[in-house]
Amino acid sequence: MPLTPPMIDSPLLSLKEAAPLLGKSLHEVYKLVARSRRAAKGERVKGQTIRFCQDGERGAIRFRPEWVAEYIDRTTVDPSNGNGNGNGNGTPNEKPRYTRGKTGLDWSDLD
C-alpha cells in the first residue's frame, strides 16, 4: 500500500496571523518560537512552548490553527476549578513547591 501524506484540513497561519490570535506582539511570538525550538532540541526552558512548522532553517514559520488553540487552552487560567494553578492540573488548592534558595521563600513561613 503506498504511503500518502496526512490530509491538511486547515490552512497554516503565518507569524503575523498567529500573533493577534495569541494576544502577543510579533516579537513575543518570535521569542516563543525560539524557546520552543530550544525545547525541541532537548534543552531545558522556562515558560510555555508552541508547536510550529518550518521548512528549513530560514523558511517561513507557520502554525496550524489547532496548535494556536492548544497553546491558548494550555495557558488559560480558570479560577473556577478550585486548584492552585488554575489550568486543571494538580490537586485542589495545591501550593507551588518553593524551597529556600535565592528568594528565601518557603510556603511554610506563610502558614
User: How does pLDDT run across 69-83, given as a tens digit for each residue?
Assistant: 999 999 998 888 765
Q: With H, G, I as helix, E, B as strand and everything else as coil, classify residue 55.
A: coil
**Residue 73: inside a domain:** yes
Please give the distance of CA 56 from its chain centroid, rounded to a whole number.
22
Please tell me the total count of domains within the chain: 1
The whole domain housing 21 covers 13-80
Note the pTM of the prediction, 2 decimals. 0.63
**Residue 66: inside a domain:** yes
**Residue 55: inside a domain:** yes
Q: With H, G, I as helix, E, B as strand and everything else as coil, classify residue 80.
A: helix
Sheet with 53-54: strands ordered across: 13-14, 61-63, 53-54
pLDDT band (50, 70, 90) for residue 5? low
Q: pLDDT digits over 31-79, tens only?
A: 999 999 999 999 999 999 999 999 888 899 999 999 999 999 999 988 8
Spell 36-63 as b/e; 16+ CB within 10 A means b.
beeeeeeeeeeeebbebeeeeeeeebbb
**Residue 92: inside a domain:** no
Report the alpha-carbon distance of residue 1 to residue 51 in Å, rounded: 30
